[in-house]
């Protein structure tokens, strides 16, 4: 798949990924840029059916988990670096908000480099954002120590079929030249027109008895109260298992 035409692949054949290909994917992830070459991430590879079955309910039983060839869970990892500091009589300095952010960004960069390496080899991938909702349970399932926080998850396998490309906003909706030009109501209406007119999206509106697509997003798919509950769970987990006490 060319990068400019890529699609998320949610259905995979039963063909496994060779050890060589998996190593190539992981190595491309590690080769991507990272802050100060500190490599503040870890990648958990789930390949056994047992392991995938344990993860599946933590990803709300999305079928990609059990049907993929491999599941990668990419985590912020200050534990390894801190242990290196301990053995070198160096003080720990990373378990704060700044480095949670820095290492989260690095973990995502590493993940996308792996996604593209997989796609280059004819594989398809799907990101699972459920990780961010289920940090505590996923950490337990993968035996993550303090200082290690799951960031995102990638399911990988050979595509059963190539679905159509999903729509995007016009490029000029997400790009600003020299400085941010804020949007007028007319801009917004013009930019979202194609997405709103997409038949699948119009079906979502009807199925959910909403007036429009924006309401499907904020009242059905990502309602405020749910988001705030998951926010609190995430913050509580960080206080207990990441930030310095």
Considering the complex, what minimum distance in angstroms separates the CB of residue 114 from its own copies?
10
- Whether the CB-CB separation of 110 and 153 falls below 8 Å is answered with no
Question: Considering the complex, what minimum distance in angstroms separates the CB of residue 68 from its own copies?
Answer: 15
* Shortest Å distance, C-beta 81 to its own copies: 8
DSSP-based three-state secondary structure for 216: helix
Token readout for 106 is 């690095």
Q: How far is the CB of 98 from its own copies (least distance, A)?
A: 4
Residues 6+ apart with CB under 8 A from 202: 196, 213
Helix (H) or strand (E) holding 150: strand 148-157
Asked whether position 53 contacts its own copies by CB under 8 A, the answer is no
Which of 11, 47, 66, 160 binds its own copies (CB under 8 A)? It is 47
Question: Which among 13-21, 59-67, 76-84, 155-163 is the span making contact with its own copies, rule CB under 8 A?
Answer: 76-84
Q: CA of 32: how far to CAs of 10, 64, 73, 105, 118, in Å?
A: 25, 26, 17, 12, 14
Site residues (CB under 8 A) for its own copies, limited to 112-171:
112-113, 115-117, 120, 125-127, 129, 132-133, 142-145, 148, 151-152, 165-169, 171
**235: three-class secondary structure by DSSP:** helix
Does 204 participate in binding its own copies (rule CB under 8 A)?
no
In the numeric block, which tokens belong to residue 49? 């059916």
| Position 185 contacts its own copies (CB under 8 A) | yes
Is position 56 an interface residue for its own copies (rule: CB under 8 A)? Answer: no
Among 208, 218, 239, 240, binds its own copies (CB under 8 A): 218
The least distance separating its own copies from the CB of residue 197, rounded to whole angstroms, comes to: 14
């Amino acid at each position: 798949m060319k990068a400019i035409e890529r699609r998320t692949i949610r259905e995979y054949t039963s063909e496994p990924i060779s050890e060589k290909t998996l190593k190539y994917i992981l190595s491309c992830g590690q080769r991507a840029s990272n802050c100060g070459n500190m490599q503040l991430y870890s990648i958990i590879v789930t390949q056994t059916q047992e392991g995938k079955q344990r993860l599946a309910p933590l990803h709300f039983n999305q079928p990609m988990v059990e049907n993929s060839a491999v599941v990668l869970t990419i985590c912020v990892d200050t534990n390894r670096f801190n242990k290196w500091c301990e053995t070198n009589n160096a003080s720990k300095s990373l378990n704060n908000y700044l480095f949670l952010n820095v290492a989260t960004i690095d973990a995502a960069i590493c993940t996308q480099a792996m996604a593209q390496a997989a796609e280059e080899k004819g594989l398809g991938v799907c990101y699972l954002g459920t990780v961010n909702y289920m940090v505590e349970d996923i950490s337990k399932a993968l035996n993550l120590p303090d200082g290690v926080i799951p960031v995102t998850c990638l399911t990988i396998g050979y595509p059963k079929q190539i679905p159509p490309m999903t729509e995007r906003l016009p490029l000029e909706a997400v790009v600003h030249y020299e400085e941010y030009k804020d949007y007028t109501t007319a801009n917004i209406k013009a930019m979202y027109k194609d997405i709103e007119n997409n038949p699948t999206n119009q079906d979502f509106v009807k199925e959910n008895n909403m007036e429009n697509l924006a309401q499907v997003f904020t009242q059905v798919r990502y309602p405020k109260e749910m988001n705030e509950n998951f926010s609190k769970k995430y913050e509580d987990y960080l206080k207990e298992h990441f930030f310095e006490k």
